[in-house]
Chains A and B, each alone.
Chain A
Amino acid sequence: MGIMPGLKAFVAAVLGGIGNIPGAVIGGLVMGIAEVMVVGYLSPTYRDAIAFVLLIVILLVRPAGILGKASGGEGVR
């Protein structure tokens, strides 16, 4: 397993919005479903990539995560 699960947990938390419990749940769900879809329809080797692609796309659209506060967050300008 190695370091990947820990990283993905962090990614899921950021995805939902750090410090936001419903956000973390949603982030984990979105990421898990996306991974399984990619494994099922595309290729299992892209499994690790899709988590991060999703993260980058979502952070570009909503810099504070899915449920994060739109502005004034800690990590966002």
Chain B
Amino acid sequence: MLVAIDFALPRLLNPYLLQIVMLCEINVILAVSLNLINGFTGQFSIGHAGFMAIGAYGSAMFSLYVGRGWSQALLDRGVPLALASAPALLVALLAGGLLAAIAGYLVGLPSLRLRGDYLAIVTLGFGEIIRVLILNIDVIGGARGLPGIPEWTNFFWAGLGVTAVVVVSRHLAHSTYGRALFAIRDDEVAAEALGVDTTRYKVLAFVMGAFFAGIAGGLFAHYLSYLNPNSFTFIKSIEVIAMVVLGGWAASPAPCSRPSC
């Protein structure tokens, strides 16, 4: 179905509307992944743009140095462009996601000790540190930005990302892991008393949320084909939080995600 929509959409919509649709998809991935941290686990994180930036730059660097060679080799063998870019894009997205997940693990660690305002300000600081670091690393463009990323993202890939994050968070909400996350959100002390390994689940939530934010960043990079650190400011994190709040904390696409309903 995604392939059919991907085929039909550029013929039905003008490029402007198509761009809006694509950015919507990327933002859906971001919002659902932040919901894993903020909504499910109740850990108030305002550094999501940082994870997205890591994923975006990680996957962009992979594509520029490795992925482009793969797709060119496939093109030379007569494979059509849409198929030739597929393996390179997939690996690039996963690489970006993994880098972001590692960062999520590193941010998840302080979350073991901090709560509320303190955790929020640490995650915020983390997002800003990432942005300033990117601004200062010359290999990835620094303040000039990173141009020339191959334009591989299309509706199909973004749709695949949305499907993945929605399916994962939906299944998570109904699994043992999801119940544990809800328990931590509702009352951490009680959850721990009941034998929930709170540190492990908190880090898990951060790692998963960061992984999908990294994938959204990778899609974003391969869609605009240009990255600039100014796309990943504090305001971007606030935007994602606004999206999550607008849709409802901890609301998942599943008809019933809360244990109480």
Contacts and interface: CB of A to CB of B under 8 A. Distances in A.
A3 interface: yes
Contacts of A60: 110, 113
Contact of A76 (B114, B128, B133, B136): B114
Interface string A1-34: 0010001001100100010000000000000000
B240 to A, nearest CB: 16
Contacts of B128: 7, 48-49, 52
Contacts of B129: 49, 52-53, 56
A59 B124 contact: no
A76 B124 contact: no
Instruction: With a 10 A CB-CB cut-off, give which of B110, B118, B128, B135 has the most chain A CB atoms.
Output: B118
Contact of A74 (B110, B116, B235): B116
Residue with the highest number of chain A CB atoms closer than 10 Å, among B116, B126, B128: B128
Contacts of A77: 113, 115
Given A45-B132, A49-B132, A52-B128, A3 B234 contact: yes
Nearest to A48: B132
Interface residues of B, number: 21
B116 A75 contact: yes
B37 to A, nearest CB: 17
A10 to B, nearest CB: 6
Highest count of chain B CB atoms <10 Å: which of A3, A7, A49: A49
Nearest to B128: A52
Interface in A35-49: 43, 45-46, 48-49
Interface string A60-77: 100100000000001111
B76 interface: no
Contacts of B133: 49
Contacts of A55: 121-122, 125
A75 B117 contact: yes
A63 B118 contact: yes
Interface in B98-137: 110, 113-119, 121-122, 124-126, 128-129, 132-133, 135-136
16 contacts: A10-B121, A14-B118, A46-B132, A49-B132, A49-B133, A51-B125, A52-B128, A52-B129, A56-B122, A59-B118, A63-B114, A74-B116, A75-B117, A76-B113, A76-B114, A76-B118
Interface of B: 110, 113-119, 121-122, 124-126, 128-129, 132-133, 135-136, 234-235
Closest 4 CB pairs of A and B: A52-B125, A49-B132, A75-B118, A75-B116
